[in-house]
């Protein structure tokens, strides 16, 4: 898919009446619908009085970030919500927990859900997510064109797009050594000094027809497997900054490097000319949320310029479609090089054939070196 063409993941949807509920979690689960405007959501949030959040401490600034987001939305909307944050596990684990809570007739652990495309797809399949007319709730013109941020049916809204590339130790990899293309990491000088992930992050997406395709990526991964000195997880950046490994090929997104740089760590991230994957991050409101209005307002605040700036501060990402976006600069680099760009969205994941099998095949190559 050429970056200049209209991407297949874009879905233009009509205005949809939200199902925001001003009562209890029980009534929310029954899908009583109201016409939800921003003003109505603000009034509903005032009555709820509290918003609960649960996600990993490394996401959106964890407890500190949550407190700042709540303080910002209280100031902007003239309310006095009390925030309650509980550190949680990964996106999929929290989504599974909320699905189990809903099945048991229990309120959700978190009023507002933060997650990636796979977790959102899980929530959509479980019919867990409330439908909302985000265009009426978000007090800002929404981007249009490629990568429209609202999921079909108004089930979630994207707030950030980590850009996949190569993370590296900026003290030990400099100048012309910084990879510009995938093949650059195969130079003999890097043998045993670079890492990949046990789940083939980035590689699995690049193997899809929209990007470089199966044949190319299987061949590349076989070569890469003979170069790597180990497998590490996305987020294990201290193994790069310590010098144990010099690069991570490929990443789940470059936001870890951005936040570490601010702390003075020798960590950096680069996109490659062949293309990139934009890993979407979403907000959604579970049907069993105890404070659905406060949850919707939280998501709406993150979409404001102030909220986007806070997300950039705490998580090193923002939504690349906004004109002031920092992520947009990384995407523009790929476009300028003529590279391919794909948004990893629930719709895109659902459209793929053989994605899970491809991931398993690449994981096996990375483990076994063949």
Mean pLDDT across the chain: 88
Gap between the Cα atoms of 45 and 41, Å rounded: 6
Residue 290 lies in a domain: yes
Do 217 and 289 sit in the same domain of this protein?
A: no
Residue 17 lies in a domain: no
Do 232 and 346 sit in the same domain of this protein?
A: yes
User: Is the distance from CB of 10 to CB of 148 less than 8 angstroms?
Assistant: yes
Answer whether residue 53 shows pLDDT above 50.
yes
Do 143 and 187 sit in the same domain of this protein?
A: no
Do 178 and 202 sit in the same domain of this protein?
A: yes
Residue 62 lies in a domain: yes
| Domain encompassing residue 216 | 166-270+339-368
Residue 119 lies in a domain: yes
Here the CATH number for the domain that contains residue 204 is 3.40.190.10
Do 98 and 236 sit in the same domain of this protein?
A: no
Gap between the Cα atoms of 9 and 148, Å rounded: 9
Gap between the Cα atoms of 228 and 249, Å rounded: 9
Do 350 and 218 sit in the same domain of this protein?
A: yes
Q: What's the mean pLDDT in 108-137?
A: 95
Residue 9 lies in a domain: no
- Cα–Cα nearest to 204, from 339, 315, 348: 348
Phi and psi at residue 308, to the nearest 5°: -65, -40
Q: For 173-200, what is each residue's pLDDT tens digit?
A: 999 999 999 999 999 999 999 999 999 9
**Looking at 96-105, 141-150, 176-185, 245-254, which range is the least confident one?**
141-150
Do 106 and 147 sit in the same domain of this protein?
A: yes
Structural domain total, the chain:
2
Torsional class of 364: left (φ above 0), alpha (ψ -120 to 50), beta (otherwise): alpha
Please tell me whether residue 173 adopts helix, strand or coil conformation: coil
**What is this structure's pTM?**
0.84
Residue 204 lies in a domain: yes
Which of the listed ranges 143-147, 165-169, 345-349 does the model predict with the highest average pLDDT?
Answer: 165-169
Strands (DSSP E) found in the chain: 50-55, 82-87, 113-116, 157-160, 166-169, 194-196, 228-231, 247-249, 267-270, 275-279, 281-284, 340-344
Gap between the Cα atoms of 212 and 344, Å rounded: 15
Structure tokens belonging to residue 8: 């297949």
Do 157 and 226 sit in the same domain of this protein?
A: no
Answer whether residue 16 shows pLDDT above 60.
no
Beta bridge partners of 34: 19
Q: Which residue has the higher pLDDT, 310 or 34?
A: 310
User: Is the distance from CB of 272 to CB of 300 less than 8 angstroms?
Assistant: no
* Count of beta carbons in the 10 Å neighbourhood of residue 14: 4
Confidence of residue 144 (pLDDT cuts 50, 70, 90): low
Confidence of residue 58 (pLDDT cuts 50, 70, 90): confident
Answer whether residue 90 shows pLDDT above 60.
yes
Residue 18 lies in a domain: no
Phi and psi at residue 229, to the nearest 5°: -100, -5
Do 148 and 43 sit in the same domain of this protein?
A: yes
Beta bridge partners of 195: 230, 248
Helix axes 305-315, 255-262, angle to 10 degrees: 80
Per-residue model confidence (pLDDT) at position 306: 97
Please tell me whether residue 308 adopts helix, strand or coil conformation: helix
Please tell me whether residue 20 adopts helix, strand or coil conformation: coil
Confidence of residue 148 (pLDDT cuts 50, 70, 90): low
Do 156 and 188 sit in the same domain of this protein?
A: no
Gap between the Cα atoms of 220 and 226, Å rounded: 10
Residue 327 lies in a domain: no
What percent of the chain has pLDDT above 90? 79
Confidence of residue 26 (pLDDT cuts 50, 70, 90): very low
- Please state whether the peptide bond connecting residue 3 to the residue before it is cis, i.e. omega within 30 degrees of 0: no
Structure tokens belonging to residue 265: 């760590």
- Cα–Cα nearest to 225, from 48, 370, 39, 333: 370
Chain-centroid distance, C-alpha 332 = 19
Per-residue model confidence (pLDDT) at position 290: 97
Q: Which residue has the higher pLDDT, 303 or 19?
A: 303
Do 217 and 155 sit in the same domain of this protein?
A: no
Do 171 and 155 sit in the same domain of this protein?
A: no
Stated length of the chain? 370
Gap between the Cα atoms of 189 and 246, Å rounded: 11
């Amino acid at each position: 898919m050429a970056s200049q063409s209209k991407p297949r993941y874009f879905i233009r949807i009509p205005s949809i009446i939200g199902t925001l509920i001003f009562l209890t979690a029980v009534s929310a689960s029954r899908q009583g619908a109201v016409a939800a405007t921003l003003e109505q959501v603000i009034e509903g949030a005032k009555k709820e009085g509290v918003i609960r959040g649960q996600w990993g401490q490394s996401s959106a600034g964890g407890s500190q970030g949550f407190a700042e987001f709540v303080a910002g939305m209280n100031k902007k909307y003239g309310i006095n919500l009390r925030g309650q944050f509980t550190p949680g596990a990964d996106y999929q684990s929290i989504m599974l927990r909320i699905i189990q809570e809903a099945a048991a007739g229990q309120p959700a652990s978190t009023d507002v859900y933060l997650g990636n495309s796979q977790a959102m797809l899980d929530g959509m399949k479980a019919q867990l997510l409330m439908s909302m007319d985000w265009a009426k709730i978000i007090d800002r013109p929404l981007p249009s064109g490629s990568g429209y941020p609202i999921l079909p049916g108004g089930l979630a809204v994207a707030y950030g797009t980590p850009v996949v590339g190569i993370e590296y130790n900026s003290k030990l990899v400099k100048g012309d050594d910084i990879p510009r293309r995938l093949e650059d990491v195969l130079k003999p000088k890097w043998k045993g000094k670079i890492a990949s992930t046990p789940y083939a992050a980035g590689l699995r997406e690049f193997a899809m027809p929209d990007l470089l395709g199966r044949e190319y990526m299987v061949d590349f991964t076989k070569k890469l497997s003979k170069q790597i000195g180990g497998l590490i997880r996305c987020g294990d950046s201290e193994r790069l900054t310590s010098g144990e490994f010099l690069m991570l090929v490929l990443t789940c997104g470059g936001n870890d490097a951005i936040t570490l740089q601010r702390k003075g760590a020798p960590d950096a991230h680069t996109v490659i000319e062949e293309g990139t994957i934009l890993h979407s991050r979403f907000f959604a409101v579970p049907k069993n949320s105890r404070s659905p209005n406060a949850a919707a307002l939280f998501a709406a605040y993150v979409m404001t310029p102030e909220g986007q700036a806070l997300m950039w501060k705490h998580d090193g990402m923002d939504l690349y479609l906004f004109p002031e976006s920092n992520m947009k600069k990384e995407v523009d680099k790929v476009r300028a090089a003529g590279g391919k760009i794909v948004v990893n969205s629930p719709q895109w994941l659902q459209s793929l054939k053989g994605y899970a099998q491809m991931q398993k095949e690449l994981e096996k190559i990375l483990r076994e070196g063949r």
